[in-house]
Structure 1
Amino acid sequence: MVVDGIDSDRMRLQQILEPRVQFEGVKTGGEALTYVKQHTVDLLLLSVKLPDMDGFELMRTLRADSRYEDLPVIILSSDQTQKAEAAVVMAGGTDIIRKPFIPIIVVKKVEQVLEMEYLHRKLKQEVHRQTKLAEDRLAASERLFEETVMALAKTIDAKDAYTRGHSQRVARYARHIAHKLGWLEEEQRKIYFMGLLHDIGKIGVPEAIINKTTRLTDYEYGQIKQHTVIGSEILELVAEFPELAVGARSHHERYDGKGYPDGFAGSQIPVYARVIAVADAYDAMTSRRSYRDVLPQDVVRSEIAKGRGTQFDPQFADVMLQIIDSDTDYQLCEH
């Protein structure tokens, strides 16, 4: 749904988006509120300037109603400054599209947000279905949950032509570390699932950036880094398994505080994420890339040792080094 007081802008968006999406356009904030309460709206494209109210005021009104607090909102603005982007984030907006409209940017951003919304809904439906099944068939529902998580992990890995199987390997390595540490079986199971879904936020990153073989621009690298936040927001919906969101958000934090997205250091970083960070780095070095083959085992060991206490928690780096030393035939790598 588009809310914009300028007729020509609404018509331009309609030309760009139809027939890809079902289009509905209104002129005022009052009309938008009435429409939203009477119809199902998947995405709101909202102009900052409306005839009867400020666009941010309309968004705050919607956010105050629990029925619409998660409604994705893309702000339409002619303001080209970074300050405008900050204002959108602070107000709870999903993204910003600048005027005058560039068709390919409009289409890409709308499709990306709609894809995210679809995934949100599918996850909510799956969690609800799993909970109901668990009342009568706990074991069966757990198997189904694992299959669903595995399918989601494979979907994410498929976005990157050079990291097929990455999530499964990270999950396996993380569980191996947990096992060596003597964690309870339930804790090992948790970190396995967290490893499977640690990169789920890549669903919100354009494939062209993920699969780019040349050096990333600062903007593109910023987009890549956002996968931690996006993944956390997606997995926060799984209320029965809050640790999933922790693994997605914090697996790129560094022990010395130089990681992202929060710049946590040491014990500030959730323990599960510290384990996944080691497993993730290990798989990155022991997997093939477009520009290189699997790194030699001695090089991998040296890099893990070098990152001890800086990139990695020393305790978990030491366990990974023990695992490497016991892998005399170098089986723990992509074959």
Structure 2
Amino acid sequence: MDWIVVVDDDVMNLKMAGKILSRNGMRVTALKSGTALLEYLRGNRPDLILLDIKMPGLDGFATLERLKEQTGSADPLPVIFLTADDSRDSESRGLAMGAMDFIRKPLVPEVLTLRVRHTIDLVRLRRNLAAEVERQSREIQSLSMHVVQTLAAAIDAKDTYTNGHSGRVAEYSREIARRYGYSREAQDEIYMMGLLHDVGKIGVPDAVINKPGRLTEEEFALIRKHPVQGHRILSQITEMPRLSAGARWHHERFDGRGYPDGLAGHDIMEEARIIAVADVYDAMTSNRSYRGILPQSRVREEIVRGRSTQFDPAFADIMLEIIDEDREYRLHEH
């Protein structure tokens, strides 16, 4: 049974949240203040905390800050803020502090239940991934392709609009590598790197990944952290030391204006330069929250425009060759 702690100084809100969640098979503990929560957590560890922002004494932000200090960062408790405030500044501040999501008041039963369950599932997936990585590093010499594909599917599931993205990037990367002359073993390696290039997005809140409008500076800063987060996760797999390269450097640019390290040219690992082209191609040929699939002619123009600036020209040329062969435009999200 999932265990939820609800913190709100309004008794009616506590009763409503408790009734909704209990009716959906969850265990609920109700607390009236941030101070009570911090004390309660000294001997208890629930699955999720629903934390009101505006409370007397410690407000939600101050409570979360102290909670992080009290519990540490190794395995933080997931927090969703409850708020009646539509302020974008409040939302950005909360996400930057590490909140998983926001739920507006008055509470809507269906929304509350779905977001709570989704957040708990995501946290468990993240913990299982960390445990799996540790186990694999300790007990076996390589990851099985089945495990990697499962992880890639879990990553893609965070983004409503990019189902199958990791698999397609892996396929495009392997084909570029094949045409460039990679051995079969090296093709398989870059395929696995492509599957896991976005693994760091596990640490990015769903509300940011699936936001249909323009991201704030704070939200974009969270997105820009995913290469480093992915590198941190995959670098623990010591049996495959190159696996983390695609995760860390697929947003670097050939002209040095990328991130996170601002590398340029051949200082960027070759496999990451391949994945960078494949990643952008799939982004343009997939549906997004803000647009549909781009016409093939427009995609080709963008690859040409990015040649030698965004992309390694050798790999951009191979991608253009693949595009020109795809006369019926079959290579896109279906």
- 1:161-240 to 2 correspondences below 5 Å: 166-178=165-177, 191-199=190-198, 201=201, 205=206, 218=214, 233=229, 236-240=232-236
Residue 319 (structure 2) aligns with: 320
Instruction: Find the residue that maps to 1:278 and give its secondary structure.
Output: helix
Tell which deviates more after alignment, 160-169 or 91-100.
160-169
Instruction: Find the residue that maps to 1:93 and give its secondary structure.
Output: coil
Contact 2:81 2:103 in 1 (8 A): yes
Instruction: Find the residue that maps to 1:100 and give its secondary structure.
Output: coil
Residue 53 (structure 2) aligns with: 48
Amino acid paired to 1:240: Q
Out of 9, 30, 43, the residue aligned to residue 5 of structure 1 is 9
Query: What's the CA shift for 1:44?
Result: 1.3
Contact 1:10 1:25 in 2 (8 A): yes
- CA distance 1:96–1:158, shift in 2 (3 Å): closer
- CA distance 1:184–1:119, shift in 2 (3 Å): same
Amino acid paired to 1:16: I
- CA distance 1:149–1:100, shift in 2 (3 Å): same
Q: Which runs of 5+ in 1 are unaligned?
A: 211-215
Contact 2:82 2:102 in 1 (8 A): yes
Amino acid paired to 1:170: V
Out of 20, 23, 34, the residue aligned to residue 16 of structure 1 is 20
Write the deviation string for residues 247-284 of structure 1: whole angstroms up to 9, x where unpaired.
4576567667998x979685699655542231134456
- CA distance 1:268–1:229, shift in 2 (3 Å): farther
Identity percentage of aligned residues: 38
Residues in 2 aligned to 1:81 and 1:50: alpha-carbon distance in whole angstroms: 16
Query: What's the CA shift for 1:196?
Result: 0.9
Write the deviation string for residues 96-125 of structure 1: whole angstroms up to 9, x where unpaired.
223333334433432332121011111022
Residue 213 (structure 1) aligns with: none
Amino acid paired to 2:119: V
Q: Which runs of 5+ in 2 are unaligned?
A: none
Query: What's the CA shift for 1:317?
Result: 0.9
Write the deviation string for residues 26-72 of structure 1: whole angstroms up to 9, x where unpaired.
12333322332322322111123445533333222221232675221
Out of 113, 117, 120, the residue aligned to residue 126 of structure 2 is 120
Residues in 2 aligned to 1:182 and 1:232: alpha-carbon distance in whole angstroms: 29
- CA distance 1:234–1:49, shift in 2 (3 Å): farther
Write the deviation string for residues 128-186 of structure 1: whole angstroms up to 9, x where unpaired.
2212322xxx2xxx253x22011233455678999775533321322343455577988
Residues in 1 aligned to 2:214 and 2:84: alpha-carbon distance in whole angstroms: 23
- CA distance 1:99–1:197, shift in 2 (3 Å): same
Residues in 2 aligned to 1:321 and 1:132: alpha-carbon distance in whole angstroms: 42
Residues in 2 aligned to 1:320 and 1:52: alpha-carbon distance in whole angstroms: 58
Query: What's the CA shift for 1:188?
Result: 5.5
Scaled by the length of structure 1, what TM-score is found?
A: 0.69
- CA distance 1:176–1:121, shift in 2 (3 Å): same
RMSD of Structure 2 on Structure 1 (CA): 4.8
Residue 38 (structure 1) aligns with: 43
Using CA pairs below 8 Å that are at least 6 residues apart, which structure has the higher relative contact order? 2
Residues in 1 aligned to 2:175 and 2:86: alpha-carbon distance in whole angstroms: 49
Tell which deviates more after alignment, 56-65 or 224-233.
224-233
Residues in 2 aligned to 1:310 and 1:329: alpha-carbon distance in whole angstroms: 26
Write the deviation string for residues 178-203 of structure 1: whole angstroms up to 9, x where unpaired.
45557798876553223113455489
Residues in 2 aligned to 1:323 and 1:233: alpha-carbon distance in whole angstroms: 31
Residues in 2 aligned to 1:255 and 1:231: alpha-carbon distance in whole angstroms: 17
Instruction: Find the residue that maps to 1:24 and give its secondary structure.
Output: strand
- CA distance 1:304–1:15, shift in 2 (3 Å): same
Instruction: Find the residue that maps to 2:77 and give its secondary structure.
Output: coil
Residues in 2 aligned to 1:313 and 1:39: alpha-carbon distance in whole angstroms: 52
Contact 2:176 2:274 in 1 (8 A): yes
Contact 1:177 1:320 in 2 (8 A): yes
